[in-house]
């Protein structure tokens, strides 16, 4: 397949590029600047430009942002849409809502108008679109939706982020229902994504949001006590999340489906810190003495069987994930 991948400079997208190439696909990724595009290409110096190249899409909040990017020769077969802001340093909820919603709808409109060869658009949604933190269901699965309202989205940055993912995913399904395009969609809904970062794009100060807790632990920022896990006790390794995107583009039965991508065990900050303490003795003094899990005894259940059955995922375990992540962070910091 020839795949358009949005947000090529992102944490999850870096692994999508690797796995798309490994599985023989060619990739055009979008980035906001030439500098970022060139950096990514230089990290794949052996790959010819007809296999991997980039186009600039400076701001996905603009409704016509993707008008040109979706046009290509030979044309695209599939699109993987990861670009969306994931940080909590905002001045206004619109800083998250507009790029998430306009970016998703604008992309789908552009594909419908100018890329008739595309059969599947895979969208990185989130467990944030499923989670009901006021009243967790007994078990989360692909029927779960976050009931967050527009008014609640304005209360704080975490709410704005969760709303951005929920409203963008809803808008995508509405587009499919009402717009009658020649393609279908699949959404990937991961919870906390942990895993190795690529060193050419990162510094420890700018590490992606979901790995920041590991960065803070190894830098001794949590010595006096771990922060709470904030109700998100599900996680997945970024390499499994990336493979889920690629398989969702490849497998025809994935069309029209959401996928809860969650590893087979729960996670808390204490679990992560415990693995770091055991596997990296030099970092032991950076961590608090007491490591108590804050996962409640009556924690919600979840069902990840659609991801194993349709996408054939086999989930990595937390120890492998934490060890590889810490190694990658140490490499960035050294
Ligand atoms: P990153 O912050 O690493 O990647 C976000 C990507 O989106 C970057 O390439 C960024 O570009 C791009 N982007 C953000 N805003 C804009 C904009 N206005 N215009 C153009 N590009 C933009 O985050 P992740 O890789 O973690 O996240 C990728 C996706 O996965 C997001 O949709 C996120 O919501 C979702 N997700 C992530 C989870 C996690 O735990 N990491 C969990 C569940 C879902 P630039 O680098 O130039 O800023």
Beta-sheet pairing, 78-81 with 2-6: parallel
What distance in angstroms lies between residue 87's CA and the mean position of ligand 1's atoms? 8
pLDDT value of residue 334: 54
Cα(332) to centroid(ligand 1), Å? 19
Residue-range domain boundaries for the chain: 2-197+233-264+304-315
What pLDDT, on a 0 to 100 scale, did the predictor assign at position 203? 85
Spatial distance between the Cα atoms of 170 and 174, rounded to a whole number of angstroms:
6
Atom of ligand 1 nearest to the CA of 192: 40
What separation in Å is there between the alpha carbon of 83 and the centre of ligand 1?
Answer: 5
Q: What is the pLDDT along the chain (334 residues), one digit of tens a residue?
A: 999 999 999 999 999 999 999 999 999 999 999 999 999 999 999 999 999 999 999 999 999 999 999 999 999 999 999 999 999 989 999 999 999 999 999 999 999 999 999 999 999 999 999 999 999 999 999 999 999 999 999 999 999 999 999 999 999 999 999 999 999 999 999 999 999 998 776 788 889 999 999 999 999 999 999 999 878 999 999 999 999 999 999 999 999 999 999 999 999 999 999 999 999 999 999 999 989 999 999 999 999 999 999 999 999 999 999 999 999 999 988 5
> What residues are in contact with ligand 1 under a 6 Å CB criterion?
7, 9-13, 32, 57, 59-61, 82-86, 99, 124, 126, 165, 190, 192-193, 208, 210
pTM listed for this prediction: 0.98
Q: Give the Cα separation of 278 and 135 in Å (integer).
A: 35
> Cα(321)–Cα(323) distance, rounded to whole angstroms?
6
Q: Cα–Cα distance between 177 and 189 in angstroms, integer?
A: 20
Q: In sequence order, what are the residues at sequence separation of 6 or more whose Cβ sits closer than 8 angstroms to the Cβ of residue 192?
A: 127, 210, 232, 234, 235, 236, 267
Nearest to 122 by CA among 21, 15, 259, 19: 259
Pick from 85, 146, 189 the residue to mutate for probing ligand 1's pocket: most ligand atoms within 8 Å of its CB.
85
Residues in a beta bridge with 55: 30
Q: Which residue among 4, 5, 6, 7 is best mutated to probe the pocket of ligand 1, counting the most ligand atoms within 8 A of its Cβ? A: 7
Hey, how many other C-beta atoms are within 10 angstroms of the C-beta on 270? Answer: 18
Cα–Cα distance list, 299 to 57, 174, 177, 232, 295 (Å): 41, 32, 34, 10, 7
| Ordered strands of the 2-6 beta sheet | 52-56, 26-31, 2-6, 78-81, 120-124, 184-189, 258-260
The CATH class that applies to domain 2-197+233-264+304-315 reads: alpha beta
How many angstroms from the chain centroid is the CA of residue 37?
A: 19
Runs of H (alpha helix) within 1-130: 11-22, 34-42, 94-114
């Amino acid at each position: 397949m020839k795949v358009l991948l949005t947000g090529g400079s992102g944490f999850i997208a870096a692994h999508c590029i690797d796995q798309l190439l490994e599985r023989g696909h060619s990739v055009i990724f979008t980035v906001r600047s030439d500098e970022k595009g060139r950096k990514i290409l230089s990290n794949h110096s052996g790959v010819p430009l007809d296999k991997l190249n980039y186009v600039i899409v400076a701001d996905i909040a603009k409704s016509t942002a993707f008008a040109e990017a979706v046009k290509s020769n030979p044309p695209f077969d599939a699109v993987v849409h990861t670009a969306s802001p994931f940080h909590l340093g905002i001045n206004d909820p619109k800083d998250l809502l507009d790029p998430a919603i306009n970016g998703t709808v604008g992309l789908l409109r552009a594909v419908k108008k100018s890329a008739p060869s595309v059969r599947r658009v895979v969208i990185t949604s989130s467990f944030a679109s499923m989670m009901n933190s006021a009243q967790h269901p007994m078990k989360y699965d692909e029927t779960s939706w976050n009931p967050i309202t527009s008014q609640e989205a304005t209360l704080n940055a975490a709410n704005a982020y969760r709303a951005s993912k929920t409203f963008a995913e809803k808008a995508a399904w509405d587009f499919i229902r009402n717009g009658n395009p020649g393609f279908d969609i699949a959404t990937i809904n991961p919870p906390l994504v942990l895993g190795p970062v690529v060193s050419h794009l990162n510094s420890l100060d700018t590490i992606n949001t979901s790995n920041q807790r590991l960065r803070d632990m190894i830098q001794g920022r949590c010595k006096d006590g771990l922060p709470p896990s904030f109700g998100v006790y599900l996680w997945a390794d970024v390499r499994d999340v990336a493979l889920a995107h690629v398989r969702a583009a490849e497998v025809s039965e994935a069309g029209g489906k959401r996928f809860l991508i969650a590893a087979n065990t729960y996670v808390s900050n204490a679990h992560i810190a415990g693995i770091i303490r055991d596997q990296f003795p030099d970092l032991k003094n950076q961590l608090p003495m007491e490591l108590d899990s804050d996962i409640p005894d009556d924690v919600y259940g979840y069902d990840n069987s659609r991801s194993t059955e349709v996408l054939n995922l086999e989930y990595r375990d937390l120890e492998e994930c934490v060890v590889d992540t810490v190694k990658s962070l140490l490499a960035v910091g050294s």
